Every structure is written in structure tokens, then in C-alpha cells.
């Protein structure tokens, strides 16, 4: 799923993220019958711009192209955020692609700092959400 949606045309090795196999990392998938339609992953990681002790980073947020814009991204992300709330995570953050910024803004994320470039992928914004505010 990461390959077609997030790393199209790139080597499959670029789809492995450091920390994918850590015990503190979890991966979610959203399915229709047996078919995987979307994914996202949550990594225990503190960002130095945020002071809260318990933070998680969202990575690999991807919905198959033909299923985008149908609410699936919202469903899977909200599910993950609720799991994080249950384990007392205070803040979730991500490096958001420019094209996805509005998606995150709509679900309560805020941008922080300046944009930055991630090589071969493009302009990103650091975004975060306080999980204690509903
Ligand atoms: C970004 C992405 C995960 C969003 O998932 P999705 O299932 O398409 O989004 P949803 O249908 O749940 O949309 C939720 C809301 O965000 C809005 N939204 C979704 N994608 C958007 C986008 N790219 N730009 C602006 N608004 C967007 C929707 O209009 C919807 O708003 P509404 O509730 O007012 O109708 C998905 O489009 C995707 O995989 N994109 C390609 C990969 C990518 O950019 N991933 C993010 C990397 S940081």
C-alpha cells in the first residue's frame, strides 16, 4: 500500500520505515471484505518542538487512489487516535505533504513552523493535534 500510494515509481526498499517493527509501533489497515483499502502507522516518537511527554508520530497515511475522498482516511485516523488516547498519548504529530494539509486541518491538526523539503517527496508541514481536546 505504501508503494503505490506514497512511493510510486520508487524502489520497494523506500517503503520500509525505521521503527516499523518496534513493539511500540502499530499499523492499521481498513478493509472492504478482504481487500485492503488504506493504511496508517503510529510510531512512538517525540518531536523537539512539542513539550508533551507522550507523543506519537503518524506515518504512512495512505488510501488507495480509487477510494480516496470517501471518508476512509478519516475513519482509520480517528480509530488510531482513539487507541492512542486509551494509552494516554497526549499529542500526535506528522510531517504532512502539502497536498494532504487540508485533510489534517479538517480533523483538528495544526501546522507549526516553516515548510521543509523531504528529498524526492516534496514540501512538507509539521502538523500536530492535542489528543486531549475533542
Ligand atoms: C490524504 C488521504 C490520506 C486522505 O484520505 P481520504 O480517505 O481521501 O480522506 P477523507 O475522504 O477521509 O476526507 C476527510 C476530509 O478531508 C478532506 N480531504 C481529503 N483529502 C484532501 C486533500 N488532499 N485536500 C483537501 N481536502 C482533503 C475531504 O474533503 C474530507 O472533508 P469533508 O469531511 O469536509 O468532506 C488520502 O487522500 C491519500 O492517501 N492521499 C495520497 C497519499 C497522501 O498524500 N498521504 C498523506 C501523506 S502526509
Whether residue 5 has its Cβ less than 6 Å from ligand 1: yes
What are the boundaries of each domain within the chain? 2-130
What are the residue ranges of helices labelled H in 30-99?
72-86
Q: How far apart are the first and last CA of the chain?
A: 30
Q: Is 106 in the pocket of ligand 1 (CB under 6 A)?
A: yes
Q: What is the largest CA-CA distance in the chain?
A: 41
pLDDT of amino acid 36: 98
Q: Residue 98 has what DSSP assignment?
A: G
Please give the number of the atom of ligand 1 that sits closest to the Cα of 64. Answer: 39
Which atom of ligand 1 approaches the CA of 69 most closely? 11
Mutate to test the pocket of ligand 1, among 5, 6, 69 (most ligand atoms within 8 A of CB): 69
pLDDT in tens, 28-62: 999 999 999 999 999 999 999 999 999 999 999 99
Averaged confidence pLDDT in the chain: 96
Residue range 2-130, CATH number: 3.40.630.30
pLDDT score of 134 more than 70? no
- pTM confidence score: 0.95
pLDDT for 133 equals: 72
Q: Is 67 helix (H, G, I), strand (E, B) or coil?
A: helix
Amino acid at each position: 500500500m505504501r508503494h503505490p500510494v506514497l512511493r510510486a515509481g520508487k524502489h520497494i526498499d523506500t517503503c520500509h520505515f525505521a521503527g516499523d517493527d518496534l513493539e511500540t509501533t502499530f499499523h492499521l489497515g481498513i478493509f472492504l471484505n478482504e481487500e485492503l483499502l488504506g493504511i496508517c502507522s503510529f510510531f512512538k516518537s517525540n518531536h523537539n518542538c512539542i513539550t508533551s511527554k507522550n507523543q506519537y508520530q503518524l506515518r504512512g497515511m495512505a488510501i488507495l487512489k480509487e477510494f480516496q475522498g470517501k471518508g476512509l482516511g478519516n475513519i482509520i485516523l480517528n480509530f488510531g487516535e482513539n487507541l492512542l488516547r486509551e494509552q494516554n498519548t497526549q499529542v500526535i504529530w506528522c510531517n504532512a505533504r502539502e497536498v494532504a494539509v487540508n485533510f489534517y486541518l479538517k480533523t483538528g491538526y495544526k501546522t507549526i513552523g516553516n515548510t521543509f523539503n523531504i528529498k524526492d517527496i516534496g514540501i512538507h508541514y509539521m502538523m500536530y493535534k492535542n489528543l486531549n481536546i475533542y
